Amino acid sequence: MRPDMKPGARIPDYQLPDHAGRQRKLSALQGDDPMILVLSRGHYCPKDQRQHRNLVALYPELKVGYVRIVTISTSNLLETNEWRDGLGAQWPFLSDAGRMVQKDLDIQEYTDPHHDPMIPHTLVLAPGLEIFRLYNGYWYWGRPSNEELRRDLRDLTRKIRPDWDLAGAELREAWARGEKERFWPYGKTLRQVFAESSPDRGGE
């Protein structure tokens, strides 16, 4: 991984085709929410299969917790679509068959010239594609468990949500003054919130 890609840095706003062939930008997929970004070897790797089955189990919590998730792999479009369908995953899978991300982040798994994949990484991103936590998953145990992701997301949500603790006197006074933009949904309508939470948002 490039040395500048560390907590506090922002990852590039890559644009890639998703499992349906639509061009998607990471910033549009993230919106204003935390996001888990999985940089994956692809469908052929049993470690990646196991990690993604764990994430499928976690997904209902991510959905109600306003957390986005995106997977990028070097699998081609057909492999990407079939892998996602086989898992029963409901989030966007992006295909980087041209190895753009692999090359830009310097994460080529050079010990596997046959598949030429990315070294697996899992990133927990704050809004704005800012790296909050970074895991190197070349070895399976370097990947975050669902419990570790829950802890990361609790810490990150506490940091970015101004209304984390409604018991605070300052927040009570702000509500009484009508400063509703400091509270979820932060000045947006519910229609906007639900539209932005759709996994189909951000397509071209």
Where are the extended beta strands (E) located within 89-157? 93-95, 121-126, 130-136
Superfamily of domain 15-161 in CATH is: Glutaredoxin (3.40.30.10)
The pLDDT score that the predictor gives to residue 200 is 62
Q: What is the percent of the chain where pLDDT is above 70?
A: 97
Q: How far apart are the first and last CA of the chain?
A: 29
pLDDT tens digit sequence for 59-113: 999 999 999 999 999 999 999 999 999 999 999 999 999 999 999 999 999 999 9
pLDDT tens digit sequence for 26-47: 999 999 999 999 999 998 999 9
All structural domains of the chain with their residue ranges: 15-161
Q: Alpha-carbon distance 97 to 14, whole Å?
A: 13
The band of 188, judged by pLDDT with boundaries at 50, 70 and 90, is confident
The pLDDT score that the predictor gives to residue 180 is 87
Q: Are 53 and 87 in contact (CB under 8 A)?
A: yes
Per the model's pLDDT, the better-predicted residue between 168 and 126 turns out to be: 126
Residues facing residue 93 across a β-bridge = 71
Joined together, the tokens standing for residue 151 give 């802890």
The pLDDT score that the predictor gives to residue 191 is 85
Give the chain's mean pLDDT: 93
